[in-house]
Amino acid sequence: MKEAHSEKLRILLIGYGKMGKAIETIANQRGHSITAIVSDKQMDVEHICRAYQPNIAFEFTSPEAAVHNLTSLISAGIPTVCGSTGWLAHWNEIAHLVKEKNGSFFYASNYSMGMNLLFKLTELAGRFMNELPDYDIDIEEIHHTEKKDIPSGTAITLAEKLIHEVSRKTSWVANEKASSEQLKISALREPGVPGTHTITFSSAIDTIEMSHTAHSRMGFADGAVRAGEWLLGKKGIYTMDDFLKDRFRLKGGA
Query: What amino acid positions are annotated as catalytic residues?
Result: 143, 147
Q: In whole angstroms, give the CA distance from residue 153 to residue 219.
A: 16
Instruction: Report d(CA 40, CA 49) in Å as an integer.
Output: 16
**208/233 Cα distance (integer angstroms):** 43
Q: What is the 3-state secondary structure (H, E, C) of 197-209?
A: EEEEEECCCCEEE
Among 149, 144, 233, which residue's Cα sits nearest to residue 195?
Answer: 144
Q: Rounded CA gap, 198 and 115, in Å?
A: 11
Sign of CA dihedral 228, 232, 236, 242: negative
Residues 6+ apart with CB under 8 A from 4: none
